[in-house]
Structure 1
Amino acid sequence: MEETIYNFWHLHDPKLPVNILLAGISYCDKNYCIERHGDNLYSFEYIMDGSGVLEIESQTFYPQKNDVYILTKNSHHKYYSSEENPWVKIWVVFNGDFAEDLFHRFLPADTYMVKDCNILSYMNEIIHIASDKQKNYAALTDEISVILLKIILHLRNHLENKVLSVPEQIKLCLDINIENAIEMNDISLQLGYSKNYIIKLFREYYGVTPYTYFRNRKIELAKQYLLNTHLNIYEISAKLSFADQHYFSGCFKSVVGISPSEYRRNHRGQNTE
């Protein structure tokens, strides 16, 4: 049995919205077995190879290559590799109020395994951040929190796999590219419809133009960065692909009614009352 483990338990800070506790890669053997009862943690574990068993809350699952299994707060669980084909898996363990909120908002209750859902690029990014010895813990949690959100959205979209209408396909394109700059011409080429037709369908279905929806979704994500990370206004603007900080602040104020800095300051003031 070989493992690469990055341990942050000793840096746990109850004031942070998310705490990263452990991350690593496990090359399991036939003796690999973990059992917990009611611990305050969440975990994503992606199976790169092999097979095994997850017993959680009186249910049994058989995670294998390209599956994700999920450990949830206060759950009673036991998981172990098969003897013939033991797991190779990459994983992250975390907790915190923001983590709990993400699970409640985006994943169906009692979601413990997602079949055939490749999140390896996200998990590799987490390991890369966790291995950076120059990074302080607050910065590490900020960066990994964003990736955890992306994983949860990816899992949700995978679970909701269905035949989408054209407006829903447009919305999915916008949601997937929420941190990028995307034009209606890009979506038009991707879906094979004219730009005007896409705008018309989307407005009829959702009651707003694609531009307004995309801008508002970016502002909602900006709020989460303001409330749950240490990123400054310029960094948030760049991360969400706004043309510049001034344009981002103008968009934010037009939607929310106050500037990003006022929004962050007001929230912190409420938290200290």
Structure 2
Amino acid sequence: MKPYVAHTFKNQKMLILPEEIINNISRYPFIKNLFITDIGFFPHAKYHYIERKEGCRQNILIYCTNGEGFVIIDGKKTRICKNTLLIIPKDLPHIYGSNDENPWDIYWMHFKGETDSHFVRNTGTITLIDVPLSTLPVLIHLFDEIFDALSRGSVISNIIYACSSLSYFLATALFMPYNKYGQKDRKTAYVENSIEFMKNNIDKRLTLNDLTSYNNLSKTQLTDIFKEKTGYSPIDFFIRLKIQKACFDLDFTDMSVSEIAEKIGYSDQFYFSRLFKKIMGSSPSDYRRIKKG
């Protein structure tokens, strides 16, 4: 049996938002989408142990910067190592705690909101992220900014600042395209290499076969990677790159619409115009007349 230890670790800090403040947050559309309810830092948290049989009302973020710990979900125990970020979805029963021999240092937050699902990848299980060492000072700085803002009292400007910083913290931790060694992950590399290939062949009608041959991947593999990283299939993304190039030429050259269409691989000006309007919401000629800046 684990020894019970109250949350009193040397140099710890912790802050819980009053229920009144949490209830009032719903009045502010720009923070009710994503906000913090609890935040803390537990250094060298020996015997730290939490069990929630019914889960937690908020999502739990734990960032282990030193030592080790564990999390148990549905009877499965997962080791949490140094430089790992863990997210436990709300309402998911769980147990987590520190390693007795090598206690963890953890920065932690509870968060929720109407758009929290964008930062919780799978509501049925945990999210684990290997955080690059280069990102450590950025995340610690953001954590300190959030904690300091909330520590200054329940002033709405402080809460807005803290919640905005939370979005930046989560985006930095979850969506930076680097592995734990500070290198771009393989999927990101495939996408970036493909995009560079597309830009160098913007005047051509590349096919999915061309792109898969360039990357030495199957059609399914490349399509799945592109949809995960960009939200589009490879060809749909290529089309949007072409339209982006067309917008540039419409804005900064006096080329005709037919010349621009030809330049990006469309011999049929009218097909190009229909495609342009579908994506940009206006025809090339109307787009050119819009005052910008």
Q: In 2, are the aligned partners of 1:170 and 1:198 still within 8 Å (CA)?
A: no
- d(CA) in 1 for partners of 2:128, 2:167: 20
Distance 1:165 1:102, change over 3 A: closer
TM-score computed with the length of structure 1 as normaliser:
0.57
Equivalences, count: 193
Label 1:143 to 1:212 Cα distance change in 2 as closer, same or farther (>3 A).
Answer: farther
Residues 49-76 of structure 1, C-alpha deviations (whole Å, 9 max, x = no match)? 1112211233210101111221111011
CA distance in 2, matches of 1:55, 1:138: 34
Equivalent residue in structure 1 for 2:45, among 21, 29, 50: 29
Are 1:169 and 2:192 counterparts? Answer: yes
Q: Which amino acid aligns with 1:137?
A: I
Taking structure 2 as the reference length, what is the TM-score of the superposition?
0.54
CA contact (8 A) 2:43 2:105 kept: yes
Separation in 1, partners of 2:146, 2:281? 32
User: Match of 1:20?
Assistant: 36
- The DSSP-based 3-state class of the residue aligned with 1:122 is helix
Q: Is the 8 A contact 2:68 2:99 kept in 1?
A: yes
Structure 1 residue 31 displacement after superposition: 2.0
CA distance in 2 between partners of 1:12 and 1:78 (Å): 25
Structure 1 counterpart of 2:71 = 54
| Aligned match of 1:124 | 141
Q: Distance in 2 between matches of 1:150 and 1:211?
A: 29
Change (3 A) 1:69 1:209: same
| Separation in structure 2 between the aligned mates of residue 72 and residue 5 of structure 1, nearest angstrom | 21
Per the TM alignment, residue 7 of structure 1 is displaced from its structure 2 partner at its CA by 2.4
CA gap of 1:87–1:198, structure 2 versus 1, over 3 A, is farther
Larger radius of gyration: 2
Question: What are the equivalent positions in structure 2 for 1:101-120 lying under 5 Å apart?
Answer: 101-103=118-120, 107-108=121-122, 110-114=124-128, 116-118=130-132, 120=136
Q: Which runs of 5+ in 2 are unaligned?
A: 1-8, 27-31, 208-233, 248-278, 283-293
Give the Cα separation in 2 of the matches to 1:110 and 1:78.
Answer: 15
* Counterparts of 1:89 and 1:210, CA distance in 2: 46
Please give the secondary structure, in 2, of the residue aligned with 1:142: helix
Give distance in 1, aligned partners of 2:140 and 2:163. 14
